[in-house]
Amino acid sequence: MKNTLLVLFFLPLILLGQTSVLEAEAMLNNKQFTKAEKSLISYLEANPDDIKATELLGDAYGHQEKWDNAIVYYKKLVVAKPNEANFHYKYGGALGMKALVISKIKALGIIGDVKSAFLKAAELDPKHIDARWALVELYMQLPGIIGGSKSKSFKYANELENLSKVDGYLAKGYIYEYDNEPELAEKFYKKAIEEGGSITCYDKLTKLYEKEGKSTEAINNLEAAHLKHQRNAMHYQIGKVCADYNVQLEKGEFCLKVYIKNYSAKDGVPKAWAYYRLAQIYKHKKDKEQATVWIDKAIVSLPKIDIFKAFKEAIESL
């Protein structure tokens, strides 16, 4: 009877705590990061050992790029659950992001911890794809004098390929692109498209073509992506390439107008940028009147974008 009463007494408190954590998680999913942060801080004051709440608070800080705070809470997770691979991965990720925003001298002091965290995550979970991706990028980006290594990067790219052929091909494409070997990068990005064909696969190849100044190939790849996925966002990307490289202007104009007509929030790029790309196209055509119409629409939509204002001045000088 006594035990039953204890259960009845504490059950509502347990359920209340679960509700608080679930509500905070929902806030994060809805991108209410500040609200989630405040809720979780309050909850953890009364429940400091709650692992899920600690992780969510670290995530809330991470989404807001408050890296020092995120590091504190992810470190708590690593200490509390040293055999949980994902906690090491998140800890290493927060450290790595901090390294990007501090001086290079200070960053050198934490690179070892970043590497150790990712290596531990990969060791603990032989199927942890994100940790292996992190190691591929880390070993490529680090100078050799502090541990950078193309061969080690390939080691984890091969492990990725064993887990997921698409990720492996994308990782090898990344390595070759980073090492300025565009033909080999193209080869592996194409293999990723053949294997998986996701928007990400097409996007990697498109960006490689753009970087190499291969506008026709970029447009062809975007059209293939649109044919497969039927996404309105592809219309903007095609129009952007046409505008940037002054090629296939009629196609670019058509695609941008389709993008604007069918636009929805899920397309990602605000319509103002499509207006700007149309202004670029009309400027290429020496049509000052239409270029002015579209750049004015872009400025009205997003008045704080300096590039729009600068482009309007360029049009006026025609």
CATH number at residue 63: 1.25.40.10
Q: What is the domain range of residue 246?
A: 231-318
Total Cβ atoms within 10 A of residue 289: 8
Distances (CA, A) of 121 to 29, 91, 125: 24, 10, 6
217 and 238 together in one domain: no
- Domain finish residue from 101, 125, 149: 125
How far, in whole angstroms, is CA 97 from its chain's centroid? 13
Tokens of 289: 């009147």
Mean pLDDT score, 242-250: 95
112 and 157 together in one domain: no
**To which H or E segment does residue 37 belong?**
helix 33-46
180 and 240 together in one domain: no
Whether 214 maps to a domain, the answer reads yes
37 and 119 together in one domain: yes
The rounded mean pLDDT for the chain is: 90
Mean pLDDT score, 133-146: 86
- Domain finish residue from 75, 93, 125: 125
Using CA atoms, how far apart are residues 140 and 4, in angstroms rounded to an integer? Answer: 59
Cβ pair 203, 189 in contact under 8 A: no
Tokens of 288: 């000052």
310 and 221 together in one domain: no
119 and 143 together in one domain: no
With bands split at pLDDT 50, 70 and 90, how would you rate the model's confidence at 170? very high
42 and 115 together in one domain: yes
- Domain finish residue from 200, 228, 256: 228
Of 217 and 48, more confident: 217
220 and 241 together in one domain: no
Query: Which has the closest alpha carbon to 122: 162, 172, 66?
Result: 162
Overall number of domains in the chain: 3
140: Cβ contacts below 8 Å, ≥ 6 apart: 148, 150, 153, 174, 175, 178, 179
194 and 250 together in one domain: no
Which range has the worst mean pLDDT, 22-26, 51-55, 133-137, 184-188?
Answer: 22-26
Mean pLDDT score, 115-121: 96
| Predicted pLDDT at 10 | 45
Q: Is the per-residue pLDDT at 5 higher than 70? A: no
Whole-structure pTM over 0.75, yes or no? yes
Whether 133 maps to a domain, the answer reads no
| Predicted pLDDT at 18 | 58
Using CA atoms, how far apart are residues 142 and 6, in angstroms rounded to an integer? Answer: 56
Tokens of 183: 């033909």
144 and 217 together in one domain: yes
245 and 317 together in one domain: yes
Single-letter code of the amino acid located at 25: E
Whether 7 maps to a domain, the answer reads no
CA angle 27, 28, 33 (to 5 degrees): 90
